[in-house]
Each structure stands twice: as C-alpha cells, then as structure tokens.
Amino acid sequence: MQIGIPKETFAGEARVAGSPETVKKFIKLGVDVYVAENAGNSAYFSDLDYEAAGAKICNQEEAFQKELVLKVRTPQKGELNDLKSGTTLVGMLEPYNKEYLAEIAKRGITAFALESAPRTTRAQTLDVLSSQANIGGYKAVLVGVSEYPKLFPMLMTAAGSTKAAKVIILGAGVAGLQAIATAKRLGAVVEASDVRPSVKEQIESLGAKFIDVPLETEEERAAAEGEGGYAKAMPASWLKRQSERVAEKIAKADMVISTALIPGKKAPLLITNDMVQSMKPGSVIVDMAVEQGGNCEGSEIDTIKEFNGVKVIGFTNLPARVSSDSSALYSRNIYDFARLIISEEKTLIIPEDDDIVQATLVIKEGQLWKPNKNKNQA
C-alpha cells in the first residue's frame, strides 16, 4: 500500500499533512510513503528529514496518484485532475460545501472529511478542529498584541506603573479557552462570554471572569445546550440581551478576540459598528470568524482595518502562522484516523460499525455520502 502527501497549494497555507514523525510511524506499519518535493518546507520539515524517516520524495502529481492521499486543505481546482479514480482522500474537505464535494466526487474517489468527526472521547486524538483551534486561539492573542500600542501586563518601574490590558473573549470553545489562557499568561485581565452556561467553570478555572447573560426561556435553554459539542444559533431574545451586556464590556476593553462559529452556517454578528466606535483609540479587535462572515461588522479577510484608531484584524488560517507545530499536531490527528481505515493486511477499508469512519465519510466510490446513513445523497 502507498500513501501520498502532496504539497499544499492554497494561498497562505504553510501546513503539511504528514510530519517526519508520522511518516516513520506509517513506515513501521508496513506501508510506503511518498512525499511531494518541498511539501514540508513551509513547516520547516526538509526533504532530507522525510527521507531519513523512510519516505520517498516524488513530484506533486505522483503524490496525488497513490492509494491514500493525505491533505490539509481540500484539493484546489487545478489539482482535481491529478486525483486518480479509486483513490482515498483524507483531510479537511469542507463537508458543508456540497457543490465542491460533488466536483471532487466526479473523480471516482472515496473521501473522508476530518472536520465531521464526532466529539467523543474515542475521537479526541484525531480531532483536527480542536488541535488547530488551540493553535489559532494562541496565535490570535499574539497577533492582537503585535498591533496593541501598550504593554499587556501591569508593569512596575522606577518611572511609574502601567495598567494591565483588559481583554474580552467572545466564544469559549477550544480557540476561546486557549485565547483566555494565553492572554492571562501575558498578564491581561480577561473576561469571556459564551452562549453555553456550562463553560463558566472552565472560563473561571483559567482565571477569567464569565460574562453571564441569564437564560430566561425554554427555547433559550435548549439552544444553549448545543449539539454534538458545538454551539447552536441562539434565539433573538437572548442575543439582544447578550449584545447589550457585551457592548458595555467592549466599550471598556483594550482588546476583543471573537471566536464564535456555528458549523455550516454564517458566523453570528457579535460586534457592531457602534461597539467598535465605542472603543478607545489604540484598542484592537481580532475576528477569528472572518472567513465565515465575521463576528465583527467591518472586518475583512486577511486585512487590518482601522476605525477611529481601533484596529480590526481579520487574518484567516491562524494555525498556518505556527506552521511547524500545527503540522505536527495535524499529522498526528490524520495518522490516528488512518489507522482506522488501514487493515492488518495493509488494505483500505471502511468499517460500517465504526462511528468515526462513518461520520467522516463524505464520498464513497464517486458518490456523495450522507454520514451515519448508509445511502447515497445522489
């Protein structure tokens, strides 16, 4: 059996789907690994590192021709013709983009979208969203700090003292919790908001204060429970109260980091133009949801906008800005998943009784596949 690891060609993508560490593990399993020339350069893994781990270096087209192809991003349009019928593709394949999945399916392949893995204990080691969101939350704080014109911690000097920065985190999922932890480590005073009351304890355990917006109706309580470990869209009644409460906090904040996402839907608007205008000049907003429509009104993809002295940062793909570690973690995720579909005989299988495999299966032998329901969508 042969595994191919192409070089990522999406603009700004510096990660790679296999590290020398995981290549060595695959070789130990008894499979051959082919890595496209310079595939790991942006993650600081050289071709020599891969060869030392046991991989063979090949060209980009050859990497796409293997039985199992490991990717970070979904194949770009120019790469689709490189996919061979019968290939199995694994990566972050944007499972909600059914139109593009249909284009990929025309190549007669089988594909697994790792974003669709269930939030279960068994699936934790292959949870790509969590591993990458952790890095994104960390980097969001550092990006914000780089544009903030003051010190983050309280600093006492012979010339006087500086005040600690006040930071608001919107959304306390994996990215938000890491942003809280990073901002606290840098000495900021942190408050955080989330639709789920259950995260209050996690927020406070990191030393931050929970911005509480009580749930007043059964509809609000049901939505706040979320689904499958993810947040759900909240009723307008609660969003109005949250907006008013958050607006008070934002007006006094030095930095706001928004992380709120709803799988498969447009990101909720949490920060209005009026809120931005209420902030002090020199304040910073980092909108981690900009690629899904944005939590902040006025944020733009991969741009820093300035409104009356307030900087709004809309950088996408923050994990790629920490390319070496994000690639190492992603590679471990994808290795743990691959173990589920590689049999002892070193052939590819699709176990019907494996909830992780079935949840991530989006294309089967050229047909769009509905996860957890063994029938075609076509």
Q: Tell me the C-alpha distance between 20 and 34, whole Å.
A: 12
Q: Is the pLDDT of residue 228 over 70?
A: no
Q: Tell me the C-alpha distance between 175 and 137, whole Å.
A: 4
Q: Where in the chain is the domain with CATH 3.40.50.720?
A: 2-116+322-368, 136-316
Give the active site residue among 76, 85, 124, 343. 124
**pLDDT by residue (tens digit) across 47-77?**
999 999 999 999 999 999 999 999 999 999 9
**pLDDT by residue (tens digit) across 329-343?**
999 999 999 999 999
Average pLDDT, integer, range 266-284? 96
Taken as a whole, the chain contains a residue count of: 378
Alpha carbon 270 to chain centroid, angstroms: 19
Q: Is the pLDDT of residue 242 over 90?
A: no
Instruction: Write the class of the CATH domain 136-316.
Output: alpha beta
Identify any residues that bridge with 110 across adjacent strands, giving them in sequence order. 88
Active site residue 124: yes
Per-residue confidence at 232, pLDDT binned at 50, 70, 90?
A: low
Per-residue confidence at 282, pLDDT binned at 50, 70, 90?
A: very high
Q: Are strands 209-210 and 310-313 parallel, antiparallel or unpaired?
A: unpaired
**pLDDT by residue (tens digit) across 90-143?**
999 999 999 999 999 999 999 999 999 998 999 999 999 999 999 999 999 999
Q: Tell me the C-alpha distance between 271 and 297, whole Å.
A: 6
Of 253, 278, 250, 271, nearest to 166 by C-alpha is 253
Average pLDDT, integer, range 164-176? 96
Per-residue confidence at 376, pLDDT binned at 50, 70, 90?
A: very low
Structure tokens belonging to residue 6: 């192409």
Cα-based angle 265, 92, 94 (whole degrees, multiple of 5): 30
Average pLDDT, integer, range 147-158? 94
Cα-based angle 69, 70, 71 (whole degrees, multiple of 5): 120
Residue listed under structure tokens 């052939």 = 347
Residue with the larger pLDDT of the pair 275 and 78: 275
- Check residue 116 and give its pLDDT: 94
Active site residue 122: no
- Single pTM value for the model: 0.91
Average pLDDT, integer, range 293-321? 97
Alpha carbon 174 to chain centroid, angstroms: 9
Q: How are the residues of the chain apportioned to helix, strand and coil, as percentages rounded to the nearest 5?
A: 40, 20, 40
- Helix pair 323-341, 128-147: axis angle to 10 deg: 170
Q: Is the pLDDT of residue 224 over 80?
A: no
Active site residue 34: no
- Check residue 227 and give its pLDDT: 63
- Check residue 203 and give its pLDDT: 97
Active site residue 127: yes
Give the active site residue among 19, 34, 42, 127. 127
Q: Tell me the C-alpha distance between 301 and 269, whole Å.
A: 15
Per-residue confidence at 226, pLDDT binned at 50, 70, 90?
A: low
Structure tokens belonging to residue 87: 């290939």
Q: Tell me the C-alpha distance between 151 and 136, whole Å.
A: 22
Strands (E), 134-194: 155-157, 160-162, 166-170, 189-193
Q: Is the pLDDT of residue 262 over 60?
A: yes
Give the active site residue among 130, 242, 323, 358. 130
Identify any residues that bridge with 34 across adjacent strands, giving them in sequence order. 4, 56
Give the active site residue among 2, 230, 243, 325. 230
High-pLDDT (> 70) share of the chain, %: 96
Per-residue confidence at 371, pLDDT binned at 50, 70, 90?
A: low
Q: Is the pLDDT of residue 366 over 60?
A: yes
Residues 6 or more apart in contact with residue 214 via CB below 8 angstroms: none
- Check residue 229 and give its pLDDT: 56
Q: Is the pLDDT of residue 373 over 60?
A: no
Average pLDDT, integer, range 203-226? 87
Q: State the greatest distance between any 2 C-alpha atoms of the chain, in Å, as a whole number.
A: 72
CATH match for 2-116+322-368 among 1.10.10.10, 3.40.50.720, 3.30.1280.10, 3.50.50.60: 3.40.50.720
- Check residue 193 and give its pLDDT: 93
Give the active site residue among 2, 119, 321, 355. 119
- Check residue 375 and give its pLDDT: 38
Average pLDDT, integer, range 199-205? 95
- What are φ and ψ of residue 336, in 5° steps? -65, -35
Average pLDDT, the chain: 93
Residues 6 or more apart in contact with residue 203 via CB below 8 angstroms: 172, 177, 180, 192, 194, 209, 210
Check residue 285 and give left, alpha or beta (phi > 0: left; psi -120 to 50: alpha): beta
- Check residue 222 and give its pLDDT: 80
CA atoms within 13 A on the CB side of 269: 11
Q: Is the pLDDT of residue 290 over 50?
A: yes
- Check residue 237 and give its pLDDT: 83
Active site residue 44: no
High-pLDDT (> 90) share of the chain, %: 85
